[in-house]
Amino acid sequence: MIPQSKGKIYLSDERGYNEMPWFRTYNTFNFGRYFNEHKQAFGALYVLNEDVLAGGKGFRMEVETAADILLLPIVGAITFTTDAGYNGLLEAGQVQVLHLTPGNTFEIHNPYENELVKFLQLWIKTPISNSASLSTFDLNHKDLLIPLINTDTYTLSIGKFNGRAATTYTLKDKGKGVFVFNIEGAFEVQYRLLHNGDGLGLWELDEVELEALSNDAIILLLEVAI
């Protein structure tokens, strides 16, 4: 029998969902008006939203606890501003980290007039700080996990894989957990099948084995304090 690590799947079609004429959001964890007793935070990771924003539109959010806000465009680009003085244009192939303190606000806008944009928001509880950092990556380097961010609280990686390509991620801190989010395609991760928008939390393990089951499959992997 294949030993299976401890884990929990967060299915895409069970995510919270909120829609307005100009905005759609899919929530892996409890967020805003969405609450499900089985969708509590995974350790320090307490928000994972997949958002779609119409041309020329934007929104503002407030942070209630010290957190790193990670913004990762999937389709198109977004602009961001914070009341801490950080702003910029963020395109697919980049991830922005905003280190915000309680009461800080940030705004996200779609810079295009008529095109939809899609992006991810990850909120991770961290010690209080106030800064910003940008990482750039190239998904044309396939079949490997590309390290993006490495802090004491979490490590973030992303990868694009051909069908049947596989890799193993070794945890840097065995006391942490791993949260995997399937951005595109299909994967088998630790003997569990993941489709678009599915998430998987894993803990009490030393490494994570994953295999792409479709071409140009994209996966996000977060090692995080639990």
- Per residue in 63-82, pLDDT tens? 999 999 999 999 999 999 99
The reported pLDDT for the residue numbered 84 is: 86
Quick: pLDDT tens for 113-135.
Answer: 999 999 999 999 998 776 789 99
**Average pLDDT over every residue of 52-61:** 98
The reported pLDDT for the residue numbered 33 is: 83
Nearest to 190 by CA among 173, 167, 164: 167
Q: What pTM value is reported for the model?
A: 0.95
Partners of 98 in the β-ladder: 69, 132
DSSP 65: S
Domain map (residue ranges) of the chain: 15-136, 138-224
The reported pLDDT for the residue numbered 1 is: 40
Q: Do domains 15-136 and 138-224 have the same CATH topology?
A: yes
Residue partners of 52: CB distance under 8 A and separation at least 6 = 23, 24, 25, 116, 117, 118
Give domain 138-224's CATH superfamily: Jelly Rolls (2.60.120.10)
- 172 in Cβ contact with 111 (< 8 Å): no
Question: How far apart are the two ends of the chain, measured CA to CA in Å?
Answer: 28
The reported pLDDT for the residue numbered 31 is: 85
Q: Does domain 15-136 have CATH number 2.60.120.10?
A: yes
The reported pLDDT for the residue numbered 128 is: 74
Token reading at 105: 């606000």
DSSP 103: T
Quick: pLDDT tens for 147-193.
Answer: 999 998 999 999 999 999 999 999 999 999 999 999 999 999 999 99
